[in-house]
Amino acid sequence: MAETVLDVLQMPNPWLNASSVSGGSNTTGRDWISVDSWRPWTEFTFETLLSVFQRPLMASWRNPPVVDPGSDFDHDIRDELSLDYFLEKFLFPIINRALERAAAVNSTREVFYVSPGSWCHGSGPPDWGLVAVSNLFEGKYNNILPGDTKLSAKWQPWMEQSQSESERYQWTLPISQVNTYAADSGCRYGYIITDQHFVALRFSKENVDLGSASSRPSRIPQSSHQRVASGETDLSSIMDAMSLDSFGAQSFIDNNLLNIDYQAPEYAVIPWSTSGRRRLTVKMALFCLCLMAAGGVTHIEGNYPPLDSWNQQDRHRFIHNTSGVLSKRVPPGATIVNPSFDEDQHSNHDNTNAELLREDESYYHRDPAAELHDDNQAYEEDSDAQNEPVGVDEESDQYLHSSTQQEQDDRRATPGPPLTEYSHQFGTNQGWFRHQEAETDVSLGALEPEIENTSHPGPSRSAQRSGRQYTEVKIQKRMLGGYKFAWKGGEVTTTKEEWKAEGDMLKLKKKFDGHYIKGRKP
């Protein structure tokens, strides 16, 4: 059984068979925001996402969902509706359970959920949405991450480079469709999912002066829309402006976002077949895109700060621009950006304005892709792995984290007394809310509470050596490589690189939970 959220998200996707699908035309909409090109989203990589969301990704997951494989008929894709059914049955339950786990780990009251687009306000509607209870209004949710299903027989990312004018036109339609959905929702992110690819999208408006903007003709909402016989979503009208009483200032933003010019959207393509360690998989990409839409600032702008960057609000207050994490300090070398001024970004190499909260906390801020290696003991990888544009050359660092019973994890992660170390700030289109994170969360060893003198099973004995007091533990090998040891009624997992060998003993290179750890080689 997988040990972390990341392990689950990197497992192979269920098989499907779309060989019976014939080609054809995609849905059209005369009032869609026109898109005729795109550009690579170079930051949307395994390394960056792991660095930004290392806390939920590296969290222990004792009881991940087990999806019923169903019958062969469930895997047979014959049209867009059957692909929707396949995703609802086999893929989205894993994503939604992972989002629940992330909420528990981050001690947030809000749980986000990938839902049918019909649950949401707006035009179309899109095939998929991302919702939360706080976004419920008059029986429907505000959609903070629109997504759409397409068939690979009708749409492929490579069609953008086609010499055929007809193929290139067909390529533009789904991109234009999702761009319009994103503008309608006031969200900079969106995605397209097919039986062969997942495509993450980020939209940016053109930076134009007020004069040119005011002279631009508006898109006129139509009175009705219809769904084509193939089952593909059709958007032939734009909804009327939302009531200010419904979504506050967001209605004004939505109304204008449908009438402005946009830059070529940024894209990242993840093949359906990608799986295994060190790989950006479809499930990992969608999970992280959901967290991006749920946290931080997500409205559509002309320029964005780097994904893995911080905004310094005062001397001891930093907020992560993508995850929404609040902290009194940032890691050494972190990029600090004022989102309003792109020229103000700089790297905080010396961390001169940050205040260390406690020694062990620095472990949380390590670069999670800095010491990756491949132990070749996880899942089988695609034969074209070395040609993929994502991933790294080494295996993911597994950080010290507890894999105690899930009930203990969730209980420790539930809201408790106010703390000062970290908090998460999640943005929704109805406003911001903030909840402080429980200090006793056990997803990372760096954030473990200090050891107490209790009867809990843990360190077996201590030894004095070289001026350091070592706590000796029993070390065991992990099935996926590396080592694990018992601690406070649970297990802490590590990689081999986090230990140094001295004879038949292993010593942890860094202090864990305020202790120097050693043990005999297993």
| pLDDT of 480 strictly over 70 | no
Per the prediction, the chain carries an average pLDDT of: 73
Identify the pLDDT of residue 431.
Answer: 31
Identify the pLDDT of residue 478.
Answer: 66
In tens, the pLDDT along 96-116 reads 999 999 999 988 888 999 999
| pLDDT of 458 strictly over 80 | no
* Centroid of chain to Cα 284: 7
Ordered by start, the domain boundaries in the chain are 5-294, 461-520
| pLDDT of 434 strictly over 50 | no
| Cis amide prior to 69 (ω within 30 degrees) | no
Identify the pLDDT of residue 467.
Answer: 65
DSSP element (H, E) containing 409: helix 406-413
Residues 307-312, mean pLDDT to the nearest whole number: 93
| pLDDT of 382 strictly over 70 | no
Residues 513-521, mean pLDDT to the nearest whole number: 86
Which position has the higher pLDDT, 116 or 452?
Answer: 116
In tens, the pLDDT along 65-87 reads 888 988 899 999 999 999 999 99
Identify the pLDDT of residue 164.
Answer: 95
Distance CA 145, CA 49 (A): 17
| pLDDT of 446 strictly over 90 | no
| pLDDT of 21 strictly over 80 | yes
Identify the pLDDT of residue 479.
Answer: 57
Rg (CA), the chain: 24
Sequence-separated (6 or more) residues with CB below 8 Å from residue 138: 246
Distance CA 500, CA 181 (A): 53
Identify the pLDDT of residue 86.
Answer: 96
